[in-house]
Amino acid sequence: MPQLPLLLADVADALIALRWPLTAAYLGLLAIIGTYGVHRYWLVYLFARHRREIPRPTRRFEELPRVTVQLPVFNEGRVVERIIDAACAIAYPADRLQIQVLDDSTDGSEQIARRRVDHWQQLGVDIELLHRTDRTGYKAGALEAGMASAKGELIAIFDADFVPPANFLKRTVHHFTNPKLGMVQTRWSHLNRTDSLLTRGQAIFLDGHFVVEHTARNRSGAWINFNGTAGLWRAAAIAEAGGWQHDTLTEDVDLSYRAQLAGWDFRFLPWVTCPAELPPEINAFKSQQHRWTKGSIQTAKKLLPRLLTADIPFKVKVEAFFHLTSPMVYLFITLFALLLYPAVWVNLQPIEDGRWAGVFLGMSLFMVGTISATTFYIASQRAQKRSVWMTLLQIPLLMSIGIGIALNNAIACLEAIIGHETPFIRTPKYGDQAAPTADTKAPASALSIIPIPSLKLWITFLEIGMGLLLLACAISSLRTRNTAVSLPFLVLFATGYLYVGITSLWIHLRGRRAPKASVAELAPAS
């Protein structure tokens, strides 16, 4: 190395000392993220290979089985009438259908549900309202309590923001002529898909999970999970698996794997759709993502050791591992965001001849993950005959949202790993406000915000801080020619964190100013 002034020599020594630890951590994180990216390519391959295989019932029931429809609700005054009416409109013999409204409400909205239940009872529908004052187990506890009086051999479950179609049971029930079938899951569609950029992004995220992921796994012989709603269970499968348990925040995923370990088969029907509301504002979305992420890691801790040692096919174990641990990618992305600029900057300094190879390898691995996500989501949209070009235009939005919520979800992962217990926080439901009709064009900015007291404001400030830090790194990369290679990634990360952080703070402030709606205001005109 040529002779340098004393100060520069000290800096050079510090850079040389930092280069290898930073580069090793940087490449290690990217290798993990890239592995999950490669796995997405595998799912797309399985989807393309099996998508034309259509499972059909082996026969049809001569006498239809009795079905219990369970509607777990909690403070859902804006949507509870809609879901009760939709459940009562399901086409099925009246003497074979029971409906349970499992209402844990604490805000008085159970009065709305009770009035609607009374209305349908007077019309001869077998419907009951079970109101708990003790929320032990949250949703899982409500479902377990409902099983005590459930009359059905089959159990259909719908969350409050869903609107099951009238032909739901006609299109699903006959699959249970297979005595080994424990659960049928249908695909979610979206009532307010086009309401905003946020809802468009969420719709594509969920389409990837349902259209590609579920189809690929289910048709290739791997296991899938019940998604908590829009599904039909065999009551015996629930009982044999150990019933609803509430030691994780994703009781649906937990029960799914326990039931399949007990020998029950599952079936996914992508052509049967059940429309639902997408969270129309960012904090509701973050709350939902936090619960799903934390619950999945909790389920991984609980069941992966048992799954990996069980006498089941190797491919089932591999898919279960990737499925249950995939939320950990958010933690890896957060760490990668912190290391991206320092690692690139150290490796491209002229001191000691910068190491282009490490930067090139790192960027290549990151592109593997990025392009795999693009391929994954395009496949889900093409399967629904949606425009590939429009999907491509929305990919930067998807990337920004995915990166922006990474910190929120990384904290959820850490809470699950260390065993930090938090309550089950339901996703706020907006009802007709979230899905404007031709008569009521209500933009997202006009929403009457539902506060989420449990959502941590300090996470929002951290998100904004991460965005500002990465923005500063992007500006620095423009000034340092050697590090300009990192600019696109820094801008993408900064945009994602700032978008999520700033909009989240704005919603926080609006929520604090929002007056609490009364039960009378929540009740739509019947």
pLDDT at 16 over 50: yes
Nearest to 270 by CA among 186, 205, 184: 186
Residue 505 CA to residue 410 CA, distance in Å, equals: 19
> 176 is written with which tokens?
């249970």
Span 59-116, pLDDT tens digits: 999 999 999 999 999 999 999 999 999 999 999 999 999 999 999 999 999 999 999 9
Assess whether 34 and 75 both reside in one domain: no
DSSP secondary structure letter of residue 412? H
pLDDT at 354 over 60: no
Assess whether 356 and 465 both reside in one domain: yes
Assess whether 393 and 259 both reside in one domain: no
Least confident of 4-18, 179-193, 451-465: 4-18
Assess whether 261 and 375 both reside in one domain: no
What beta strand segments (E) does 218-354 contain?
231-234, 265-276
Assess whether 75 and 39 both reside in one domain: no
Least confident of 210-224, 262-276, 317-331, 444-458: 444-458
**Quick one: pLDDT at residue 526?**
43
Residue 303 CA to residue 297 CA, distance in Å, equals: 10
For residues 444 and 195, the answer to whether their CB atoms sit within 8 Å is: yes
Inside any domain, residue 496: yes
For residues 69 and 162, the answer to whether their CB atoms sit within 8 Å is: no
Helix, strand, or coil (residue 70): strand
Question: Per the structure, how many domains does the chain have?
Answer: 2
Assess whether 265 and 384 both reside in one domain: no
- Positions marked catalytic: 104, 252
Assess whether 92 and 149 both reside in one domain: yes
For residues 343 and 356, the answer to whether their CB atoms sit within 8 Å is: no
- Which residue range forms the structural domain that includes residue 355? 6-47+328-519
Assess whether 238 and 369 both reside in one domain: no
**Quick one: pLDDT at residue 525?**
43
Span 429-439, pLDDT tens digits: 887 665 554 44
Say how far residue 155 (Cα) sits from the centre of its chain.
23
Assess whether 22 and 72 both reside in one domain: no
Span 264-295, pLDDT tens digits: 999 999 999 999 999 999 999 999 999 999 99
Inside any domain, residue 296: no
CB hemisphere CA count around 265 (13 angstroms): 14
Following DSSP, what letter does each residue of 275-298 receive, concatenated? EEPPP-SHHHHHHHHHHHHHHHHH
Q: Is the dihedral of CA 16, 22, 26, 27 positive or negative?
A: positive
Span 404-457, pLDDT tens digits: 999 999 999 999 999 998 888 888 888 766 555 444 444 444 566 776 766 778
CB-based contacts of 135, cutoff 8 Å, min separation 6: 74, 104, 106, 141, 142
For residues 282 and 503, the answer to whether their CB atoms sit within 8 Å is: yes
The share of the chain scoring above pLDDT 90, in percent, equals 67
Inside any domain, residue 293: no
Element (H, E) at 186: strand 181-190
Inside any domain, residue 369: yes
Inside any domain, residue 286: no
**Quick one: pLDDT at residue 357?**
54
**Quick one: pLDDT at residue 13?**
60
CATH of the domain at 271: 3.90.550.10
Assess whether 42 and 91 both reside in one domain: no
pLDDT at 3 over 50: no
Q: Output phi, psi for 190, to 5 deg.
A: -130, 120
pLDDT at 317 over 70: yes
CA dihedral 483, 488, 491, 496 (to 10 degrees): -140
Q: What angle do CA 511, 517, 520 make, to 5 degrees?
A: 165
Core vs surface per residue 493-509: b (16+ CB within 10 A) or e:
bbbbbbbbbbbbbbbbe
**Quick one: pLDDT at residue 508?**
84
Residue 294 CA to residue 422 CA, distance in Å, equals: 10
Assess whether 259 and 365 both reside in one domain: no
> 157 is written with which tokens?
């479950």
Its pTM stands at 0.90
Assess whether 346 and 245 both reside in one domain: no
Span 47-61, pLDDT tens digits: 999 999 988 998 999
**Quick one: pLDDT at residue 347?**
62
Q: Output phi, psi for 124, to 5 deg.
A: 95, 10
Question: Mean per-residue pLDDT for 322-332?
Answer: 96
